[in-house]
Structure 1
Amino acid sequence: MKEMKDRKYNRYGLVIVVLACLLSACDKQLDLAPEDTTVETEVFQSESSAESALMDVYNKTFEANNATSYIFGDFSTDLLVSKSDYYDLVNSGEIPVDDSYFVGGSWEKSYSAINVANVIIESAPKLGTYREEVISQHVAEAKFLRAYNYLMLQKLFGDGALTGKMNGLGLPLQLTPYEGIKWNASNAITRSTVQATYDQIIKDLTEALPDLNENYEDDLETRARATKGSVHALLSRVYLYMGNFEKAASESAFLIGNENYRLNADLRSVFPMSSGYDVSLDAEYIYAIPLTWNNGDHQFGTHYFSYYHKYSTYAADDFLAKYTDTDQRKTKLIWQAYTKGQNPTKLTTAKFNNDRGRDNIPMIRLSEMYLTRAEALVRTSGVNQESVNLLNAIAGRADSEFTNYTTGDFANADALIDRILLERELELCFEGLHRYDLIRTGRKLKNKDLPENKYVLPIPKREIEITKGSLVQNPGYL
């Protein structure tokens, strides 16, 4: 177990070179094809080499979700004041279709992770010579990661994916390893509908569930690798985005009361001051990208969030005013941070507090599940005691002066939903989720005049060109 832990967390980004060369990103980087199947055979000969291949999918998932791809969910909302010309360009809806940094980068990095996941899903069962139960687990983890990356792409590029437009343009669903030398524009995959994309995500997660662990011997692995809990949690998010509130409530219920996850009364323990290495993941984390120490700013060494230094963004005063003065999320998780650069008197989140960006990255936390179930139950059953209890649990743990609500405090379901949505904003701020909550509930982004057809990013121009137009551009960018 220690050997696996060291291999995974101290060298998380290390992958077998032959596999990295075998399959890289989508279209643009798929010029290299495997010479034969011998390389894959070698990769799946042993549990340790297959594990390294799987770790590459985790690493590529991190690369697709760090930096702008993560904080886009916040800087495009009123949580943050933006002082970046580039962020302003993104928020305006005028980002060029040939933007290679955010638009092209998010697409390519996500498909890079998907592509290597496809190798494991297809080749491990056929070529694996190690224990069958571990092969099944590896395939299940790869399916979870493929689903996670497709959901990220869906919310960024799926036209109407968060507004109930199920016949809108979703994603090209690449579900088999790309065979570079056989590829040509005539057999390029077209975009599936939003509904079909969601269906594939749900299919991957449902198929993964039986072969995943409830937990691992090492607690860090329980929170950083796919488990039954992380599958149910991701399904709850998928169904919430789809507007299937009955299933969102059902899936989130799996996490509440689950012995593997629990709320911590001290929010500073959930987001500890980061030493830059060996920072534990609290039991509140269902799935997270863990900090690892690589003796330098490479691979997982730095997560590239622009919160600490406040050069590009800082917390908006109007948002901070929504907290009471006794709320831990204000007293412990908001701070001044770097004071010698731009905006020295402004405040920022202390969830990411290492001066070189070496922090754990929350992807799904237990508090999200409480609030998802609370909202979903109201939407299906109206004002109810369980939803109020779940809201009280999150608000009360944050603020010692909080007075519990009763059902009588809410005149109707809309009033309770509004209060739950406020709690999501206060609780999950700066974790890359707020934008998508705003869109799915019909509220405005930072740019109040942004048309709905620009709630998503443009399909990268290169992807359209290389497929000779088989990939259709999002309507807002035609």
Structure 2
Amino acid sequence: MRLIHKYIGLVCASILFFTSCESDVLDNNPYYMGDSADQIFSDPVKIAAASVGLYDALQNSEFLGGRAQIYVDARGIDLNPPTFFGNLSTFQPTSSDATIEDAWQGAYRTIYECNLFLKGIEGAKAASVITESEYKTYSAEAKFIRGVVYFYTLNFWGQMYAKESENLGVPLVLQAFDGGSAFTEAIKITRSTIDDCYKQIISDFEYAEQNLSDTRDDVYEGRATATSSAAQAMLCRTYLYMKDNAKAIAYANKLDGKYSLESTTITNLTNPAASSEVIFFIAMNISDNPNTNNALGQHYGKDARADITVNSDYLNLFSNTDKRKTDVVVQKGGNWYCNKYQNGTKDWAPIIRYAEILLNKAEALVKSSNTVDAGAVSLLNQVHGRSDSGVTYSTSDFANAQALLDEILKERRRELAFEGHGSFDLFRNGKGIPAGRGSASTPALEYPNNYFALPIPNSDIEKAGANVLKQNKGY
């Protein structure tokens, strides 16, 4: 059993520390803390430690350590646009926006660390330092992490999926360039199509599905590290975003019996690692977290930074019998705050849980049949009934498929709020931003809109050349 905590000390001592002064997609020159790459990839124990270090890379303070989840929701309709993140949340950013540049660099820094690890274990396998089986397992973990990061990166800097769209995705950096070629070769990477980006994401998740175990012996490790089940869950989400409803349903079905909803709301879980519904999350603890200021609990917490408030319209989604009305939000000083993250810097950063899978399947069933699907209503009741026993839906409650779909999307807002779904759910369903968001004078942003995709940082465009790394429309 390869428990994640067994290697924490060794990670701190000898893991590759892959950051650089620039740390962007064009110029990733690594430096090492402790042992050299040759020393690490010639020792199977240190390779195991390095693989754990990839999860530490996933904690990136400017991206999936919590900030990325906030950005998805800050651009949605359930939060008041937080002034701390400036123009990102008000759809008025520039290509020199520091918050967006930090997020871009954070995403590609983690991708680079995955690529560098994959390169190292390729050599370790060739030198018989690790077995073929170990190589596949390590590769699967790195590719799962890379797939997760690319999923969010694509949906931030690209428009929503459209197979024949002329809109571009993001640069697919799939290898680690050595110090002599980092600039001259990486700078040539152009933006791939949205379709090709999704194909790569699927390829990474499929490899993880095929080469990892369903679960792990240790409960904590089974939620905080990659598993075949976690890859299946991400494939379910990915295919839903790609409008391939049949495959989204098929992958949801693969998770039947592996996870189940808790009897209480997710807010009341003090230990998500032991939860029957958490599939994958980014682990934190008091000594290992993004940092004091960037953690989810700090931004959302009513007693911490408290710089993000909940829109009062969100409260109107709940009936008076719904426990989430008092569990998910809390009031202080006339403002409403998210109550899901109560542990400051120790709070878990959510990626995917079983409630989403059930709602993914419900949505896909309705979209694929264009009917008031009884199975979708049953799934809606499973999620809603856990928190609100006073409301039970029946097929007769919905005049048509669109009415049922609208209720499923509302349930996603109720259940998955502040976990990084808000704006993505709007845009992928062809919905824009209504007028009055944040202030009465704010105009509506109709779908489609150029500004639903973030600008590519100008610092990278200048290095690559505008003809190589093309800017998104409107910037």
Verify same fold: TM over 0.5. yes
Correspondences of 1:86-165 after superposition (within 5 Å): 86-100=84-98, 102-128=99-125, 129-158=129-158, 160-162=159-161
CA contact 1:24–1:112 (8 Å) conserved in 2: no
Distance change in 2, residues 1:431/1:13 (3 Å):
farther
Distance change in 2, residues 1:265/1:112 (3 Å):
same
1:467 match: 464
CA drift at 1:330: 1.4
Q: What runs of 5+ residues in structure 2 fail to find an aligned partner?
A: none
| Secondary structure at the counterpart of residue 251 of structure 1 | helix
1:334 match: 329
1:44 match: 41
Cα separation, 1, equivalents of 2:294 and 2:286? 6
Cα separation, 2, equivalents of 1:15 and 1:106? 27
Distance change in 2, residues 1:216/1:473 (3 Å):
same
Correspondences of 1:9-28 after superposition (within 5 Å): 14=12, 16=14, 18-20=16-18, 25-27=23-25
Correspondences of 1:45-60 after superposition (within 5 Å): 45-60=42-57
| Secondary structure at the counterpart of residue 263 of structure 1 | coil
Cα separation, 2, equivalents of 1:83 and 1:301? 14
Correspondences of 1:57-456 after superposition (within 5 Å): 57-63=54-60, 64-84=63-83, 86-100=84-98, 102-128=99-125, 129-158=129-158, 160-162=159-161, 166-185=165-184, 188-258=188-258, 261-267=259-265, 270-272=266-268, 280-294=273-287, 298=291, 302-303=295-296, 305-309=298-302, 311-336=306-331, 339=332, 344-354=333-343, 356-381=344-369, 382-403=371-392, 405-445=393-433, 446=437, 449-450=444-445, 452-456=449-453
Cα separation, 2, equivalents of 1:131 and 1:244? 37
Cα separation, 1, equivalents of 2:108 and 2:202? 18
CA drift at 1:164: 5.9
CA contact 1:294–1:301 (8 Å) conserved in 2: no
Q: Which amino acid aligns with 1:139?
A: S
Cα separation, 1, equivalents of 2:293 and 2:118? 24
Q: Which amino acid aligns with 1:205?
A: F
| Secondary structure at the counterpart of residue 25 of structure 1 | coil
Distance change in 2, residues 1:306/1:163 (3 Å):
farther
Cα separation, 1, equivalents of 2:385 and 2:272? 26
Q: Please identify, of 435-444 and 10-19, the stretch whose mean Cα deviation from structure 2 is larger.
A: 10-19
CA drift at 1:271: 3.1
| Secondary structure at the counterpart of residue 363 of structure 1 | strand
Distance change in 2, residues 1:18/1:235 (3 Å):
closer
Q: Please identify, of 43-52 and 188-197, the stretch whose mean Cα deviation from structure 2 is larger.
A: 43-52
Q: Please identify, of 381-390 and 210-219, the stretch whose mean Cα deviation from structure 2 is larger.
A: 381-390
Q: Deviations over 1:273-310 (max 9, x none)?
A: 75xxx774412101101222318984999556411136
CA drift at 1:24: 8.4
CA contact 1:326–1:399 (8 Å) conserved in 2: yes
CA drift at 1:65: 1.2
CA contact 1:24–1:116 (8 Å) conserved in 2: no
Distance change in 2, residues 1:389/1:139 (3 Å):
same
CA contact 2:74–2:82 (8 Å) conserved in 1: no
Q: Please identify, of 25-34 and 161-170, the stretch whose mean Cα deviation from structure 2 is larger.
A: 25-34
Q: Which amino acid aligns with 2:317?
A: K
CA contact 1:13–1:299 (8 Å) conserved in 2: no
1:6 match: 5
CA drift at 1:18: 4.6
Q: Deviations over 1:211-248 (max 9, x none)?
A: 10111110011111111111111111111111111111
Q: State, as a whole percentage, how many aligned pairs show the same letter.
A: 29
Distance change in 2, residues 1:221/1:406 (3 Å):
same
Q: Which amino acid aligns with 2:267?
A: F
| Secondary structure at the counterpart of residue 171 of structure 1 | strand
Distance change in 2, residues 1:311/1:303 (3 Å):
closer
For the aligned residue pairs, the C-alpha RMSD in angstroms reads: 2.8
| Secondary structure at the counterpart of residue 170 of structure 1 | strand
CA drift at 1:132: 3.2
Cα separation, 1, equivalents of 2:398 and 2:255? 26
Cα separation, 1, equivalents of 2:10 and 2:400? 49
Distance change in 2, residues 1:387/1:23 (3 Å):
farther
Cα separation, 2, equivalents of 1:133 and 1:328? 47
Q: Which amino acid aligns with 2:315?
A: L
Distance change in 2, residues 1:416/1:297 (3 Å):
closer
Q: Which amino acid aligns with 1:135?
A: Y
Distance change in 2, residues 1:33/1:295 (3 Å):
closer
